[in-house]
Structure 1
Amino acid sequence: MIAAERAAMSEFHDLAELALNSANQSWGNLGYWEQETSYSDANRALANILGQEARLKSDSRVFDAGFGCGDQLLLWLEHFDVAAVCGVNLSQSQTRRAKQILSEAGFGASAAAIGVGDATDPESWARAMQSSSIDCVLALDCVYHFPDRERFFRLAAGNLNHAGTISLTDFMLADDFDTAGWRAGPLALMLRLSKIKRSNLVIRKAYHRQLEAAGFAEIEMTDISSHVMPCFGAWLRAYRRQNPGRMSAQNWLKYRVTGWFLHWAYRNNILRYSVIRAVKKTGLAQITEENS
């Protein structure tokens, strides 16, 4: 497994999570830990919550912004039986694996058109969509890493069909977070290490306003922090004791720090993690590359 890590070490988002997964699984989110005891099961549970919140159905045509190694794409296609998916992912190594997973499962380009791209770039959307229409945008545990979340929201609204929806899981600042308080310094340090822009973290009301400004209404936000943030680190400590040789020391450290930070941010009421759904406003014009 360490060899696979080295092969993709030039990318921040790579194949390191393979070492945390069960056999033949390659999930890469934080997981939803209500009853689940394995990383793969918890990751699938979080994806399933997102799919349910998005109200996916057999005629849904989905754009997945940041699809990881492809396991979630199979969930949309097989479990939710959506009509088709397209999408982009910044990671070349993950995209190669996603294409392999889809091919092995029997899904060709007509059912799943995916590629390397930036979900905040209009050209990436155009290449992925290939003039097809979409009625649902999904973003599972990735938007906080985007270079410009508000731009992503605008592109999502502009490319969705009439009354299309966006559904995502994302971090927000706790409503009482004090930007001048003692918690601001440690938070800023962790965000730099995690390659997360500070501007991507806002309180709930500001997040709501960003979605509205981008062209969305009927905004629903559900806090699921208690089943996400304090749980990953606890699971990781036990897993590492049982599997000491599964991952390089550098990546073990990265995930240990992530687990510690999530627990600290939850306990000190700094961050909250939510599942969000919104509907495109009626009459919103299509966004083109020129006016985005």
Structure 2
Amino acid sequence: MPATLISGVAIAATIRDEISIEVSRLKDQHSLIPGLVTILVGDDPASQSYVRAKNATARVLGIHSQQITLPAHTSESELLQLVHTCNRDSVFHGILVQLPLPSHINEANILFAISPEKDVDGFHPVNVGKLMLGEPCLLPCTPQGILELLERTNISTSGAEVVIVGRSNIVGKPIANLMLQKRPGGNATVTVCHTRTRDMAFHTRRADILIVAAGVANMIKAEHIKEGAVVIDVGVNRIGQTAGGKAILAGDVDFADVVNKAGSITPVPGGVGPMTITMLMKNTVQAAKQAVGLL
């Protein structure tokens, strides 16, 4: 029997409805409009598309959204000055600098300059440290989205064997830590696999929940999972394009090979991806509430 599809599209839509209601409540009861500024440096088509999607989602939900686009030759000092200006602007509760940045700009210097209270990507060392300690903070969007997917499909992590393929700062490391913690969506036994792991399949076949965020198209096959496992595919890899120029996407999991062995699986596209932008909106609302003492 084919696996149950975990639809990020449907779950994200439900959460966005909840966010929209909360944004309306904040406006009506507290005259508070959450604000998000997105900063794009250069003209990378993929980055432009991502930023457009983020701003469009914000506007639909009633979040004030402003995009600032800078030329690719913008200096690091000029970008830092803009970030400091946005830090001081009370209209903006969230600041997002779209990555990647041009090679002459040090990404860490820019991300670390964002006020932790406005760091809606959850990348600032202060928020990373709080995450590690289990303290309240703005969580990175993709890991937070994964937890929401599992929770809203009634997949328990408590006591589960969770295997994560990938150790990035954006997905692998934070989701591993979150699933270890004594919290909803946590209390799991976590194994992290990476490029130096010996016999990866030995580990992945033990997983009750397998989270794949390696950035390698179709690397996980049916032979890598156990019968009935929950498979969360974070990968989005462009493997070609249609005659009309539309990108053909594949996950890190070979969906066709795995779908008849897994118990539940996220598709690509339409799985984790929609959750990431939705969690960005959730973080913006959270930051706005914290700014005025409502949290």
Please, what TM-score do these two structures have when normalized by structure 2?
0.32
Tell me which structure has the larger Cα radius of gyration.
2
Please, what TM-score do these two structures have when normalized by structure 1?
0.33
